Structure 1
Amino acid sequence: MMTDQSDADAELPRVDPIGSDEVDAGAFEGLDTPLLYGLLHFHRIANGVREGGDNRGFIDIHVWRSEENNEPYNARIMESLLTLVCFYTRDRSWNVYYGDPAVRARLEAAFEYWVGMQHEDGRFSEYGVEEWNLASTAFATKFIGQALVYLDDGPSIDAGLHDRVVESLRDALLVTFRHGELTEHGRSYSNQYSNAFAGAGAYLSLFDDPEVEALFERRLEWSLDHLQSPAGFFYEMDAPDWSYNLGTHQSNLLQAHHYLQDTEHLPQLVEKEERWADWVAYNALLEPADPDATAGDTPPDGGFFLNCAADARNTTRHRQGKGSPLHQYLPHGGAFSPSAEERDTWLAELGEDFEDSWPVIDDLVGDFSALSPYSFLHLDHDTWYPSGAERDEARERLPYVASDRFVHQHVDDRTDLVCTHVRRPEYYAIFNGAPEASSDQRFGLGILWHPDAGTVLQSRKDVRNTTYGTRTGPDDAPYEGSGLDIAYTLGDTTVDPEAGSHELPAGDSAPLTVEYPLGDAGHKSIRFGEEDIEVTVTHDGDFVESIPILASDGRLTVSGARVGADYGDTTLSVAAEAPLELAVFSTPRRFQSSASRRQSGVPSVARPIAVDKRLFVARAYSSDDLTYRLSFSE
């Protein structure tokens, strides 16, 4: 039941803090457990709502997004409306803010401000006054859509204001689905656009709106070919990006699935995830858990090292599994999820962590995501976790685990990126290449894996001296940092890459050779053989070959023209045919065991990492020509 319009100029009451001595930490259960941190700091968020002036209602506290962008014109800041709504509407014995009049007054002021920020066509701004863009508009649909769902089940706000919030959400959805510039931008930054599918799902669960539904249906079908590569990844700067694909995209699909799972749109969501899961199955490599790593009370897990050098925006080199409701429809979807048993154990341990440290709780520190609205977005969205047996069976079906002989290609037809996957009994390697590269992408040998040792070589984007490749000097960008004119030969047959995901005929037996010029200075050939990988470089004058190796501290040796990396029962050898100058240096980047469950004070449901590897770079200094081999021995 709605109430009458409140006085927009009325003084806003302060929201009282709650002391830790007033809260029973043991009362928090399941997915509510992380809300304990938010509850004790909630008064600061609510009292951050400006009380007067032209910007009355702006949530003026740095807990979401970067400090330099914490400005009244930035609608992304106002996504914290969901935080206010969550505590105002969540009916729990511990929630003293449920239906609180002071919270309502500040929530209404914030909603008034958000509605007033909107362009008449439905767009919002982010980086400057009237600098309307897709991100601020489409993200708003997801967070405000979920806020309206919470309000539909909880205490009310002013009736007239509620109607205007609904209308603003509707306008944001319509402009996202119709506006040519927003749509074109979304083709390159698809995580932004697909927020609108989550927002539309929430909106249509509340309102019968044929116009919005028709546009949503058209854009959802359109997205299969325009937001997602035929190779399977979702476009970010027209390229892969693990950070957004594993983060924002999965959030969008989780919310969309919640509202669309019983509709005719479920097959489209499943198709999206199926294509994405195929990409992941070849490019996320299982890491054996370090048996000596400390992993808390739950079984250790090595997570996945990622083929990430072709990413264009962010660098994400290692991730743990993450649950998704869409995984239940896929043959190896469960491979990337924690098990249901582990999830239940971790949630119980989170509560124990809080109770053990009570009443001490982390401070609320200004940070990009010190108290992110994402903490309150998916509380009621069902996900899916396989049993431990189902998860292990799904991992056995991963292509590089199920088979030890194939050559497979993932090919994008927008930038002609080709990721070539070579599996032989001794190794699994991925080579990345395209005719053009963004300023951050790095091509060439991207990652090398062994069934027992895990990932032993990993290149990355964006850096000059720690990525794989050939350079004129140790601190110069590699030739592989620009576009490559690549020739692929399988046995005696030239391979012409085709868009999509394809197994190559004869890939189970014939050697693959990849060749490309090094600018105007030389030529490089990489031959993926039965037992080793042979690299041959010809170059006018001096050059440096850099090989990024992942290994534990103290496990690398340099002897003559050979670098060895010890992984217990397996050794990686990088050996040249002739003596040459070799140097190995370690980097600060270390993947290390961690049992931490907190990020910015908020507990996270994450399996403890059980990996202890550091990035080392082996450099071979040579002139005119060089041949070396990568191989494994016991």
Structure 2
Amino acid sequence: MPDPTLPTFSRRALMIGVGAASIAAFAARGLQSAPSAYATSEGTVLPLVDPLASEPDRSQFDDSEHVFAAYLTVVAPIANSIRDEDPYYGWMEDGWWRAPQQPYNAREMEQVATLTWFLTHERTWNPYFADTKLRDRIEAALGYYLSSQLADGSWSEYEWDVPHLAPTGFGSVALTTTYRYLREAGELTDWLPEIESAVRASSAWLVDRSLGHWRQPTPYTNQVVAGLAGASMTADLFEDADLAAQVAECWATLREHGISDAGHSHEPMAYDFDYSFIVAMPDLAEGALAGFSEPIEMARSMAEFVSYASVLEPDRAGFLHWSAASARIATFTQEMQPNEVLDRTSLGRALIDHVPVLAAFHPTDTEILAARQAWKSDPGPIVPLQRRSTSPRTWMHSSRAPLGPSEAEREDAIATLPYLASDRFTELRQAGSIDLDYLFVRRPEYYITTLLGRRAGHHGPYQRLRMGPGLLWHPTMGGLVYVLNSNDEDAWGPFPEVSSVTRVEVARTYYSEPYGEGERLSAAQVGNLENEFSAAYLDRTNGSHVVLSFFDDHVVQDITADDPGRAVIPLLLQPGDVLTFSDGTEVTYGDSVELTDITGLRLERGTGTLNIDLDRTSTITLDVTDRVRMHDSRRQHLIRVEHGGSLRTTYAFAGPAETASQAPAAGVLSSDNGHHGTDDGNYDITMDLWWGVNAHGMRLFENGELLAYRNLVARSPQPQSISFPVRGRHNGTYHYTAELINAAGTTTARDVTVEVRHAQPGAVVLSHDNYSGDADFTLTTNMWWGTNAERYRLYENGDLIDEQLVESNTPQAQSAATEVTGRQPGVYRYVSEFLNANGISRSAEVSVSVR
């Protein structure tokens, strides 16, 4: 049992300490009225865990463990967020992991697993191994965590004393992991029976199929999957055959009732990319590694649906996800380059042998190894994790994940993606769990996704879903029209009021011919169509009727409304795109414009053209949004078209306006490095082709490695120009080359070399104002000119005593100050640092005498 001299709590003791009346009052007032912050003593009860005394040495981390480096930087802040005063002694109060930041939210306490890893694992780079201050704070956290467990074995998340699935499922994983580490290291052994009792109780709650989280169809599949992973770990840890048998039965039940008829997991009843691919898939891998077949079957079904709902951009910048169909998270893109510190999907790679299509969505083994080597050789400081980005699941999974597929395996998987494997199909999938149709139409010139149906009420968990077409993709141009699920203005079609998009629920009908003509078709019949047809949907909330007609080389959207209104076209533009409106006005990426008497526009990109034609003269606005991804190469722009009650818009595809008969002329690369005052590693590389045969695309290489691909619009012999932002380069030499490409050939541009000399912050000077030997004084750090810092640190006698964020405005001066109080007589030595992602600048040592 735990040491009785230490503060420990039962649920009853917790309520007495808090005050039962206070808990009841908080519950009665609800979440918004609950207290949001409390003052914690500054180490007067439990000593504060020491911050890192120096920057970790990247070279000391094993390849599979460098994910811990970022967590290492926040061990002390997380540990010191554990309260050592009443009320809520032991609660992690600073919101490092999950909202709401309230003492009844057990999700925050999952960080005991993170802190325990550092306490129990001896590494040359880990100063917290067997650290007594960290041990004391973990013990306090365990006391609060275990005492907050409800009598039925569950934990709360959103209000006092109400069982919730997520904190119980994910918490079981965190606590079984904590138990295993403590037992292996012989740490806090008196707490092991308490943890065992807790996870046995939570596992029993999780596998009890009479409870609400097992209702059929089973909602929140990702949370149940995590719960089964935790229960399975418990059964394995304590060799509990009865629990293992119950887990096996639960997997069979979840396989039957946790997957929709459409193939996606229930989140809670609709699709969600983030919760299925990013959250659930790694835990399905846990289930598969534990020897269960049902997780593999579930992963296969979910991955197949994702392969329809995500499109690979032709330039291989990454995947666009059908955000409009995601019920919970505003997932936009998934980039191809590995980032193991932030990659929550990594353990999903363990499923690739069983579900080969998953290889399309993961980096290759070569890319992962190269990224690890680049991380080790990076001279910059390790960037600390930010609040809400400290998921314990990331390090749990990444440190155990296998390498990625080979390049050949990934290419084979990409070739099986439906819209790449075929240029003609119609796929209609019905969710079944709620009244939703997912319509996927592939024709030779395009791929389009459409969501139609009901969202089970205006005030339920599905307000993010956006009805109607959501994603238009072209084989060479990539994503062209794109609806997100996180903004009231996101729609593609009728949009009479700003808020109406969040209320749209439509009645739909399918027809065998375009324009709502021909015979009505059943859902089963739609899935067999290969030629022209149409889908009509009526929105009774705003009185609009839309008919989508699908042809081989164009799509037509007919809108009829009760009143005049406007239609929205959410274009997804890339740098190098050119939009030409019917009046001759040209605009490019990032522009906004308002025009009248417009009958259409032309979007040119690389070797393709999208013509958008209106059947009437309209006033239109084009507005740029801040919704951007893939290194600022994909940005949503909104076109709003005013109409008098009806509007026909045709989206037709054509080849480039210009077909090249000669290879491009030679372009010239240049850099603006140093133009803003310093050679700081942040600059633009620009390609200019002054005159001659134009290119349709450009590949940019940095030190021989492909850095980016950009589409260009050819209008020979006019000049061409495009810039690529390069950010965060360290001191060193960078050589840039480029290839200009058109249908007739490839030409190498004139190269450019960039010398980065000032990547780390400029020289800093530390001073003090204690000329009379007082106990209170101020230390000030100044950088008079140069590359700015992002953080400031101050050390006293070698110990870090202050750290602040500072505002960057290169190359202007920067300053930071620390007030020091209550120093005893003696001599104190101070050193300050200014840091950015590229390095550290240290001051000379300053001594201060206190008399």
TM-score (norm 1): 0.86
- 1:392-418 superposed Cα distances (whole Å, 9 cap, x missing partner): 121011110011011112211111211
Corresponding position of 1:368: 388
Question: In structure 2, what is the Cα distance between the partners aligned to 1:132 and 1:613?
Answer: 42
2:562 corresponds, among 532, 540, 544, to 540
* Partners of 1:551 and 1:566 within 8 A in 2: no
1:174 alignment partner AA: A
2:430 pairs with one of 382, 390, 411: 411
Which sits farther off after the overlay, 94-103 or 189-198?
94-103
| Partner Cα distance (1:231, 1:457) in 2 | 24
| Superimposed CA distance per residue, residues 579-603 of structure 1 (whole angstroms, 9 cap, x where no aligned partner) | 333332222212241xxxxxxxxxx
CA distance in 2, matches of 1:537, 1:133: 44
Q: Structure 2 matches for 1:169-208, cutoff 5 A? A: 169-178=199-208, 180-184=211-215, 187-208=218-239
CA displacement at 1:186 relative to structure 2: 9.2
**Which letter maps to 1:348?**
Q
Q: How many residues align?
A: 582
1:310 aligns to what? 325
Aligned positions of 1:302-381 closer than 5 A: 302-320=317-335, 322-323=345-346, 324=348, 325-353=350-378, 356-358=379-381, 361-362=382-383, 367-369=387-389, 371-381=390-400
Q: Which runs of 5+ in 2 are unaligned?
A: 9-44, 337-344, 457-461, 583-597, 656-851
8 Å contact 1:74–1:125 — kept in the other structure?
yes
Partner in structure 2 of residue 496 of structure 1: 522
Match of 1:239 in 2: 270
2:650 aligned partner: 629
CA distance in 2, matches of 1:204, 1:588: 48
Aligned to 2:449: 430
The change in CA–CA distance for 1:436 and 1:63 in structure 2 (over 3 A counts) is closer
Distance 1:138 1:310, change over 3 A: same
Which one of the candidate residues 175, 195, 209 is aligned to 1:144?
A: 175
Going from structure 1 to structure 2, the CA distance change for 1:362 and 1:521 (only over 3 Å counts) comes to closer
Deviations 1:87-115 (A, max 9, x none): 01223222232233333333222222211
Correspondence for 2:405: 386
Q: Distance in 1 between matches of 2:410 and 2:552?
A: 31
Query: Residue 220 of structure 1 contacts residue 268 of structure 1 at CA under 8 Å; is this kept in 2?
Result: yes
Residue 164 (1) aligns with residue 194 (2):
yes
Q: 1:465 to 1:14 in 2, by over 3 A?
A: closer
Q: Which amino acid aligns with 2:77?
A: R
Cα distance in structure 2, aligned partners of 1:314 and 1:423 = 26
2:80 is equivalent to residue 47 of structure 1: yes
> Cα distance 1:207–1:380, how it changes in 2: closer, same or farther (>3 A)?
farther
Residue 136 of structure 2 corresponds to: 105
- The structure, 1 or 2, with the larger RCO (C-alpha pairs under 8 Å, 6+ apart) is 1
Higher helix residue share: 1
Q: Distance in 1 between matches of 2:158 and 2:559?
A: 47
1:604 alignment counterpart: none
* Greater Cα shift, 121-130 or 447-456: 121-130
Contact 1:442–1:467 at 8 Å: present in 2 too? yes
Q: In the alignment, is residue 278 of structure 1 matched against residue 301 of structure 2?
A: no
Q: Does the C-alpha gap of structure 1 residues 274 and 490 become closer, same or farther in structure 2, counting only changes over 3 Å?
A: farther
The residue type paired with residue 442 of structure 1 is R
Contact 1:55–1:72 at 8 Å: present in 2 too? yes
Query: What do residues 511-564 of structure 1 show as CA deviations (whole Å, max 9, x unaligned)?
Result: 121012343845321110111112222333413221111112562222131122
Shift of 1:349: 1.6
Matched, 1:618 2:650: no
Question: What does residue 679 of structure 2 align with?
Answer: none
CA shift, 1:116, in A, is: 1.0
* CA deviation profile, 1:302-334 (whole Å, cap 9, x unmatched): 111111212222211212355421122124221
Name the CA distance, whole Å, in 2 between partners of 1:24 and 1:42.
Answer: 16
CA contact (8 A) 1:326 1:384 kept: no
Identity of aligned residues (%): 26
Work out the CA distance in 2 between the residues paired with 1:489 and 1:268. Answer: 38
Q: How does 1:243-258 map to 2 (within 5 A)?
A: 243-258=274-289
Counterpart Cα distance in 2 of 1:18 and 1:541 = 64
Of 438, 450, 471 in structure 2, the residue corresponding to residue 447 of structure 1 is: 471
Q: Which residue of 2 aligns with 1:597?
A: none
Comparing 53-62 and 143-152, the one that deviates more: 53-62
Q: Does 1:64 align with 2:97?
A: yes
Q: Aligned-pair distance for 1:39?
A: 2.4
Change (3 A) 1:523 1:372: closer
- CA 1:379–1:426: 2 relative to 1, 3 Å: closer
**CA offset at residue 380 of structure 1?**
4.4
Q: Which moved more, 1:199-208 or 1:426-435?
A: 199-208
Match of 1:471 in 2: 495
Query: In the alignment, which of 615, 624, 629 is matched to residue 586 of structure 1?
Result: 624
CA drift at 1:12 = 4.1
Which one has the bigger strand percentage?
A: 2
- My pick for the range that moved more, 70-79 or 272-281, is 70-79
Shift of 1:6: 6.5
CA deviations 1:61-110 (Å, max 9, x no partner) are: 332223xx333332111111011111012232222322333333332222
Alpha-carbon separation, structure 1, partners of 2:141 and 2:562: 65
1: CA distance between counterparts of 2:149 and 2:66? Answer: 35
1:515 aligns with 2:536: yes
SS of 1:430 mapped into structure 2? strand
Task: Please say if residues 441 and 481 of structure 1, whose CA atoms lie closer than 8 Å, have aligned partners that are also in contact.
Answer: no
Q: CA RMSD in A?
A: 2.6
Regions of 4+ moved over 6 Å: none
Change (3 A) 1:63 1:186: farther
User: Does the CA contact (< 8 Å) of 1:19 and 1:40 recur in 2?
Assistant: no
Q: Output the amino acid matched with 1:613.
A: R
Matched residue type, 1:271? E
Q: Structure 2 CA distance, aligned partners of 1:617 and 1:450?
A: 19
- Higher mean alpha-carbon deviation, 302-311 vs 40-49, is at 40-49
Decide whether the 8 Å contact of 1:411 with 1:417 is kept in 2.
Answer: yes
**Quick one: which amino acid aligns to residue 62 of structure 1?**
G
Cα distance change of structure 1 residues 273 and 493 upon mapping to structure 2, 3 Å threshold? farther
The SS at the match of 2:507 is coil
Structure 1 runs not aligned, ≥5 long: 290-300, 594-610
Does the C-alpha gap of structure 1 residues 522 and 241 become closer, same or farther in structure 2, counting only changes over 3 Å?
closer
| Separation in 1, partners of 2:242, 2:603 | 61
Mapped pair 1:557 → 2:587: no
Contact residue 504 and residue 539 of structure 2 kept, 8 A: no
Q: Which residue of 1 aligns with 2:165?
A: 134
Aligned mates of 2:565, 2:352 — CA distance in 1:
47
Distance 1:44 1:464 in 2: 37
